[in-house]
Amino acid sequence: MLPPMSKPLKAGGEVDSGCCKCKLVLNHRIIAMVSGTPVRVECSTCNSHHNFRARAPGEKAPAKAGATTTKAASGTAGPRSTRSTSASKAAKEAADRERSWEKAVSGKAVSEFRNYRVDEMWSEGDLVRHKKFGDGIVTRILDAKKVEILFKDEPRTLAQGLVD
């Protein structure tokens, strides 16, 4: 049998969680786990500590008929899950990601990177320097408030254009 595709979650690891301050589902660090489910998380964007929530605050559970599997705890299983059918494929994708990350950041001058801040706005292809995650490149603009940034180890969903 093949192992489940999503990475095993553990304290100190990372998970996408709704953040009560950012009002978005963003990358979080897991502080505490109970029976395999994150319960306390730290927001990578605003650093606040709060309970894990699989959805953005105020967002309703999908009420679509036929949506039987909610997969509440695994925010990682997106539309891509149908493609990832084997562990070796996942490993290859990770290697491909790291190669494209290397290609994107190698040989770039320090001045070409902008420090990551939640109130910055980003465009695809922008080079980012993050104080926790290191160098990265903006791979996708998810919406007006969220960008996907590819870091050396993995892509992360981070906030953009946040104003208090």
- Binding residues for Zn ion, rule: CB under 5 A, are 19, 21-22, 43, 45-46
- Using the minimum distance from each CB to Zn ion, give the nearer residue, 127 or 149: 149
Q: How far apart are CA 149 and CA 114, in angstroms?
A: 13
Query: Which residues lie across from 141 on neighbouring strands?
Result: 147
CB of residue 65 vs Zn ion: minimum separation in angstroms?
33
CB of residue 131 vs Zn ion: minimum separation in angstroms?
15
CB of residue 20 vs Zn ion: minimum separation in angstroms?
7
- Using the minimum distance from each CB to Zn ion, give the nearer residue, 5 or 118: 118
CB of residue 42 vs Zn ion: minimum separation in angstroms?
9
- Using the minimum distance from each CB to Zn ion, give the nearer residue, 5 or 46: 46
Q: How far apart are CA 8 and CA 13, in angstroms?
A: 9
- Using the minimum distance from each CB to Zn ion, give the nearer residue, 90 or 159: 159
Query: Which residues lie across from 90 on neighbouring strands?
Result: none
Largest Cα–Cα separation, the chain: 51
CB of residue 57 vs Zn ion: minimum separation in angstroms?
11
For residue 119, CA distances in Å to 71, 75, 115 come to 31, 24, 11
Contacts of 93 (CB under 8 A, 6+ apart): 84
| Spatial contact of 17 and 36, defined as CB atoms under 8 Å apart | no
- Using the minimum distance from each CB to Zn ion, give the nearer residue, 22 or 30: 22
For residue 8, CA distances in Å to 4, 13, 33 come to 9, 9, 11
